[in-house]
Amino acid sequence: MTQADNRRSWIASANGHPDFPLQNLPLGVFSPPGASPRGGVAIGDAIFDLKAASDAGLFSGDAAEAALAASGDDLNALFALGAGPRRALREQLQELLGEGSPAQARLEAMGQALLPSMASCTLHLPARIGDYTDFYVGIHHANNVGRLFRPDNPLLPNYKHVPIGYHGRASTVVVSGTEVRRPNGQTLAPGAETPSFGPSKRLDYELELGIWIGQGNAMGESIAIGEAERHVAGYCLLNDWSARDVQAWEYQPLGPFLAKNFATTVSPWVITAEALEPFRKAQPPRPEGDPQPLPYLLDDRDQAGGAFDIQLEVLLQSAAMREQGLPPMRLALSNTLNMYWTVAQMVAHHSVGGCKLQPGDLFGSGTLSGQQPEAFGSLLESTFGGKQPLSLPSGEERTFLADGDEVILRARCLREGHPSIGFGECRGTILPAR
């Protein structure tokens, strides 16, 4: 059992903070007021400036190397260093920022130059994304969507043998808070013989876990399942916006294309594996009769602790709700334990044919719905294909997203005796099509 870490920080806002206590210390890229983007660490309501700290010589050894690598406008160089320097940086940060730190007076004297308030800063994408792959490891989502199209055979035969995925578009991955333009595309109306072109009428969100790749592999070589987690730099929230009507027309025979490539939103903070260690779980056992993974996808240690207990939440606030002063409405509460495949299995499978993974590559888990309607991670599921509208507090109804709707994803790890660890928010507001 993981020993509870209840250390406190001399930064008062970090103590009891629902997302960013001393036990989290997620990495990101931010711009202080009037300054260029650089790496930082969220701590309470502030951001610890890694460039300023590196320039001031606050770190030593591997931690100094890590802080220097994070001083630019992306974290790719830091990701490339691997887990050792990242852990060294975390340990020295906890010493510097912990209650009773010998460096407290010096750090306090540096003031806003070292610890600007988060509210005063601009947050950016944490890494330069070379490639983006979206998986389909949420089995309840796969079953729910399959039933809409194939009631008698919702899961295709390969689902329980191989982690399904497709390559997405890295150029349109955007950071939380970026507005999302409703896409135009071809759709085929029910009963029609020819498609029409225009704005998507069935725009949707998808609740996903994002996985940032750290050290990669050489082309032609694979990453063994037992080594896979060493190649993960951290985690975030991911909203895979989806135009369902465009998707229904285009997806056969090669899968998603324009229905998904117009925008993908990620939260700005990279939550490290070290912060999530207390919230590891055994991978939920497969139902009786399901096939065991092939040997390259099966590792005893991964099965015993390769899953995470992360609470996932979707909220929606329409334009009318904002005008009426109504808070966002929760649409779903799910959990990453709904993943049929582990992160390590995703990494091992992605590389098994010799695909070259690189620092800053991004994976999406696929929609992580639960078994019950209150845990469905997309409107396609929650409204049963648009047949059962959801009622909003403003008196409006939704089958799919309307212009002006803001979708908010949140994630939090909760365990008795341990501080709460949060991911921050992943937000996006829908703009009308051009």
- Residues contributing to the annotated binding site for Ca(2+): 134, 206, 208, 240
- Residue whose C-alpha is closest to residue 425's, from 317, 326, 346: 317
Taking the C-alpha atoms of residue 286 and residue 292, their distance in angstroms, rounded to an integer, is 8
**Cβ 92 vs Cβ 63: under 8 Å:** yes
Q: Which parts are annotated binding residues for substrate? A: 136, 150, 247, 251, 367
- The amino acid present at 46, given as its one-letter code, is A
Query: Is 17 noted as a catalytic residue in this protein?
Result: no
Q: Which parts are annotated binding residues? A: 134, 136, 150, 206, 208, 240, 247, 251, 260, 264, 367
Total Cβ atoms within 10 A of residue 268: 25
Taking the C-alpha atoms of residue 11 and residue 14, their distance in angstroms, rounded to an integer, is 6
Total Cβ atoms within 10 A of residue 362: 24
Total Cβ atoms within 10 A of residue 181: 14
Taking the C-alpha atoms of residue 143 and residue 147, their distance in angstroms, rounded to an integer, is 6
Taking the C-alpha atoms of residue 231 and residue 340, their distance in angstroms, rounded to an integer, is 20
**Catalytic pick among 141, 231, 349, 350:** 141
Taking the C-alpha atoms of residue 149 and residue 431, their distance in angstroms, rounded to an integer, is 29
* Polymer length of the chain: 434
Q: Which parts are annotated binding residues for Mg(2+)? A: 240, 260, 264
Pair type for strands 207-213 and 122-124: unpaired
Pair type for strands 421-431 and 180-181: parallel
Which DSSP letter does residue 99 get? T
What is the spatial order of strands in the sheet that 180-181 belongs to? Answer: 180-181, 421-431, 406-413, 311-317, 329-335
Residues with catalytic annotation?
141
